[in-house]
């Protein structure tokens, strides 16, 4: 079943609320009804010009929201990259500490485990 939200999903994402969308579309409806009720071509041309201006404002708003969404995605990618670098450095530090500890343990065991009679003079 296709709902209105499926059809208007992209549009609803572009506007903060359905009320904002309705408020943006109201001037279009009013101007088109005004043009339909008048026979004067000059009034019709003025209404078309106003509708074109409203469309331009609407497209500008949509474009600025798209640009902001791209900036947000870029910031998210940068944060993920910084987190990955931090985790990599942390992992490298842990491996080095573990390696150093095991080297110290082996060296200490070698000193403790070597019999002293091997070093004595006959």
Dihedral angle of Cα 21, 24, 29, 35, to the nearest 10 degrees: -160
Specify whether the CB–CB gap between 81 and 75 falls below 8 A. Answer: no
Tokens of 63: 């474009």
Scanning the structure block, which residue is given the tokens 């002293």?
116
Whether the pLDDT of residue 59 is over 70: the answer is: yes
Residues 89-119: pLDDT tens digits? Answer: 999 988 888 877 776 666 665 556 555 655 6
**∠ CA 93-94-97 to the nearest 5 degrees?**
85
The Cα 13–Cα 5 span in angstroms is: 10
What average pLDDT does range 53-74 have in this prediction? Answer: 92
Least confident of 2-6, 73-77, 85-89: 2-6
């Amino acid at each position: 079943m296709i709902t209105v939200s499926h059809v208007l999903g992209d549009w609803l994402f572009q506007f903060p609320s359905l009320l904002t969308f309705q408020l943006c579309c109201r001037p279009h409806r009013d101007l088109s009804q005004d043009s339909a009720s008048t026979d004067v071509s000059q009034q019709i041309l003025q209404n078309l010009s106003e509708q074109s201006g409203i469309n331009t404002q609407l497209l500008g708003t949509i474009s600025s929201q798209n640009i902001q969404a791209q900036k947000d995605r870029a910031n998210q990618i940068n944060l993920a990259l910084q987190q990955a670098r931090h985790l990599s450095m942390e992992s490298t530090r842990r491996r080095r500490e573990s390696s150093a500890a095991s080297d110290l343990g082996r060296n200490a065991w070698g000193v403790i485990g070597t019999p002293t009679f091997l070093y004595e003079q006959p």
